[in-house]
Amino acid sequence: APPAIFILGLPHPLLPYRPPRPPPPQRAMQRLRRIRLRRQAAAKYPDVHINDREANRASRFPTNNITTTKYTLLNFIPKNLLEQFRRITNVYFLCVVIITLIPAISPLNPLTSIAPLVFVLGVTALKEAYEDFLRYKADARVNGRKYTVFLPDGGTRRKASRDLVVGDVIELKADDTLPADVIPLCSALPSGSVYVETAQLDGETNLKEKLCPSALQNKGRDGCTALRGTVTGELPNADLYQFTGSITPEGESRIGLEKENLLLRGTQVRNTEWAVGMVLYTGVKSKLSLNQKQPPSKFSTVERRLNKCVIGIFTFKMFCVVVVTVLTAAFHANDAQDAWYLDFEGESAAFQAVKNFFSYFALLSFMIPMSLMVTLEVVKVFQGSFMEWDKKMARDPHNVEETGCKAKTSNLNDELALVQYVFSDKTGTLTSNCMVFHQCGVNGTVYANAGEGQLREVVQAGGDNADWVREFCVCLAVCHDVNNPEMKNGRFDYKAESPDEKALVEGAEANGFVFNRRTQEGVHVTYPDGSDHYFEVLRRIAFTSSRRRMSVLVRMEDGSIRLYSKGADSVMGDLLSGSQRNTDLKAKTFDDIEEFCRTGLRTLIMGYRDLSEDEAAQVLARYDETTAKEGEARKKAVDVVDDDLEKDLEMIGCSAIEDKLQDDVPGTIHNLLQSGIRVWMITGDKMATAENIALSCRLLSRSMEIVKIDTPKSRGDLLDTLNSKKVKYCDGDQSKRKVMGMIINGSALNYIFELTDEEKRQKRKTTKLAEPFLKVALMCHSVVCCRVTPLQKANIVKLVKEETKCISLSIGDGANDVSMIQEAHIGVGIFGKEGTQAARSADYAIHEFRHLRRLLTVHGRWSFVRNAQLIQYYIYKNSAVFLVQFWFAFYCGYSAQTIYDDWIVTMFNILFTSIPPFFYALFEKDIDDDIIDEYPEAYRNVQSGKHFTYSSLVTWMLLALWHSLVFFFGPVLMIANEPFVYDGKTAGLRFFGAVCATIGITTVILKLAIESNTWNVFVHLGIWGSIASYWLFFLGESFLAYFVPTQYWQFVAVVTNPNFWALYIFTIVVCLAPDAIFNFMRRQLYPEDWMILQEAKKTRKLSRSDITEMNVT
């Protein structure tokens, strides 16, 4: 037996101590963590053998076949059904179908529930199948493109894109689309350049220059097609703007590869006759595929509220079922035993109650409209199409297809009417992003007409500042990423990724320093005297949003080496040499920058640094050393060398670029503000620039009391400032407060969003600074956030969205706006000159900011009014007609006998009452668009969402309850004295049910007619055609005795009975007259805003002062 000390689990005094083992689940997690870390440490993209399929087969690279389809022929039905039955309403109706399939408890023919469910599932499945078929055709078109592949034996073969594998050497011709991520080996251009258009990746139509490694370009076409060796690349990732790798030809040294040496899948070859490249990443591992992610799912307020309403209706239905079940048990226990003719012998009260519970569960199931979801989804698709067809939302009304709005999702159409906060980017969103070189400051001197050739005159005239001006112009003409220009109409046409780059090069050209061509080794610049000068480019350091600067290391014609650099003043000031950091020149230049910013100009600082041959050789050697590293280690090593190179700069001057506002931006912002929408402008510009733009676009005004929060000294200093502003503006007498605006700096936002260690330990979601900042900001008419990063943009939206619980919308045009767009409830992208990444990631895409006004106040408003009425009407009509079954239970001994014919029940939602609300939701307009545009305050009427609230739904349900009573008890009174029909027989159950159905269906259709404000041919067709379809259907089934024996001759029995016609007219009047009278009295005594605006449309007697008196809270 073991010693007691081991039984107790205590350590033995003579044995070494071993810590207790963790429990099994914890041990398993630790083991998995170790395995994952080992895999991450060993993660490395396999070496690729050039043009050697056998050697590459062992690495099991993915195929190049691209599949974006959601289904296959084998899994379509099960997968689609699985997705559809994730909706709780479909599961609910499936349960109803199961109940109706049990003859012992089903009061209905199973077809009454099967047919509507199959209809709903079928319509959705057909829609999914069509969309997936379009994806399949697109995939087949892409995978079937043919390319020339160079075989190891020296021959060639045409292969489809799907058959390409990693390591293949292929030929690319002009206008070819890249089938995979490819390393260019050589090209037809002597410089080794390959020009590509990346519109499919980022939407930018400007050509980008990619480079073949010079050592391989020198081998020529034949040498590259016969090339052997290995290529090392980083692990596949989604970053389009980063790549590191190396290529090692057989018997030669390693050659470093960077982002300029990678052609991405989806790009198109332009201005290059041919190029030879090696396939590196294929299929799902290409950067294009890795970037094709589904956007975050967004659900509208109407959808969320509808789900809760369905639960409420289900609860009410279950209440009715329980009431009938209890009464069933009481009736069976007290009265049914004496009624021998009911044949209840052998059935207990409990059994009968349980049986009737399921029977009435199926019988009253139609109170929840099965086809509502499908109708709402189809309606939203059409509403989105109306937005795309709207000529007033197109940049070119004659080309709506290409320049109009794009509705990327239809789920949020009605959400557009509830927006309370708009967060907007500035550059390219409010401004046109059409940059013009306007002014500059060189060596402390401002040249106000620099964009008109003033600098050329200074250089030609000579003088003390001529050399500095020449150096400034050379920096503009050399330090850039502009592609080789084309000559058009006697001038060079420059293409650049950034409009700023293009403007600066055009500014240099305007002053006689013309960038005329680029080679792989350098750039050529023509001086004002006509002489051509060559600058050998030793190293080019690209601009990034994190670095906020660009540099180029060049060898001058005299052999000297110089680094030219340009960037934002926020970073360039710290890179100046020690002798210039505190000089009058720096102070004067920064004063000039402030003055430029006050007039709304964009600024950059230019500088240079001279390097000796030894210094340059050391720097280039350090760059060469980084090629031995891979992945993130190489990127970090390159960044270190870049930072060491870009320092000790001598300031040359600063540039000022003008970016004009887009058309009607001030009017659009003024309209949005009048609509009750608060607008925040979020930009990376300086505070002075941002303030000037905000004033010019009427976001801020001189009469406002503007709260400015600039760069704080510390977190505590910012907290004191915010608390003082809070006390001053939020805790005082609000009646005397002026209209406020706020301007806040990005450095202050850093403190607001960055949690301290103590706040992290407290597990706070926001900092202590967030509360006072938000309280002051929400009091403001509008807010301007400047000097912000892309992450801060998203954080601002997230803070306001979560703390206010209000609907937010973000709008931008660049890739740096994507996070902000996806964070908001609604994202709107602008097709801009910075590409279409914002438009592609948004819910809606437009071409100009002014289109946002119509998108929100017209289409958004109409969509919300239509969808809200559609949902409530659907619930009303089903409840009104099928609550009759509940009242009938009190007359049939709670036997679950159905009062309606099974075919009438089946076709009720499919045919009789589906078309009118569909056309209503497409064409209803409570007020016209020109009135909305003239009186934007009308937007506030729907902004609060009062058209669809729980109280409004209860009102519709009470109306349905009243109408159901009339539908049932009207016919009850008619047959109370056993009226005779035409052949002398008395009315029976089928006659009674037909009368109830006829009255009910006609009344609910005419109820929609009373609610309609817009009448056109479709609305007329829907309403009168639906009533006619019911009568024709009733007529048809009355003469088809073989198929519907219970309805045989019922049509004749009903229409030949004069009591029916009297009741028909009387019940419709009783039901609808109060509604019409109520609507009339409300319009006369308590009119809503839209009612007054309707009259304004007709009479044109409404003045602006009348609008201010409206109740638009």
Q: Catalytic residue numbers?
A: 425
Tokens (6 digits) for 534: 């060559």
Tokens (6 digits) for 577: 């040499």
116, 86 in Cβ contact below 8 A? Answer: no
The SS3 assignment for 707 reads: strand
Question: Residue 670's CB: how many other CB atoms inside 10 A?
Answer: 18
Nearest-5° angle of CA 1068, CA 1074, CA 1075? Answer: 90
Measured distance CA(78)–CA(84) in Å, rounded: 10
Tokens (6 digits) for 493: 């046409």
Going by C-beta distance under 8 Å and a sequence separation of 6 or more, which residues neighbour residue 448? Answer: 439, 454
Among 1026, 910, 1014, 884, which residue's Cα sits nearest to residue 962?
Answer: 884
* Residue 492, φ and ψ in degrees, nearest 5: -75, 135
354, 894 in Cβ contact below 8 A? Answer: no
Helical H segments across 924-978, by residue range: 929-934, 940-943, 950-974
Measured distance CA(156)–CA(96) in Å, rounded: 64
The SS3 assignment for 918 reads: helix
Q: Which amino acid appears at position 556 of this protein?
A: M
Among 1087, 1095, 1083, 1094, which residue's Cα sits nearest to residue 1111?
Answer: 1087
Q: How far is CA 918 from CA 126, 380, 871, 926, in A?
A: 19, 10, 11, 16
Write the DSSP string, 988-1021: -HHHHHHHHHHHHHHHHHHHHHHH-----HHHHH
Measured distance CA(106)–CA(100) in Å, rounded: 5
The SS3 assignment for 113 reads: helix
Q: Which amino acid appears at position 895 of this protein?
A: S
C-alpha atoms less than 13 angstroms from C-alpha of 112 in its C-beta half-sphere: 21
Please give the biggest Cα pair distance in the chain.
Answer: 124
Judge residue 772's burial from the number of C-beta atoms within 10 Å of its C-beta, 0-12 exposed, 13-18 middle, 19 or more buried: buried
The SS3 assignment for 733 reads: coil
Q: How far is CA 157 from CA 176, 229, 604, 615, in A?
A: 17, 21, 52, 50
Q: Which amino acid appears at position 308 of this protein?
A: K
Q: How far is CA 295 from CA 98, 822, 826, 976, in A?
A: 37, 8, 12, 62
Tally of residues, the chain: 1113
1079, 1072 in Cβ contact below 8 A? Answer: no
Instruction: Tell me the torsion sign for CA atoms 570, 572, 578, 581.
Output: negative
Q: Which H or E run includes 295?
A: none
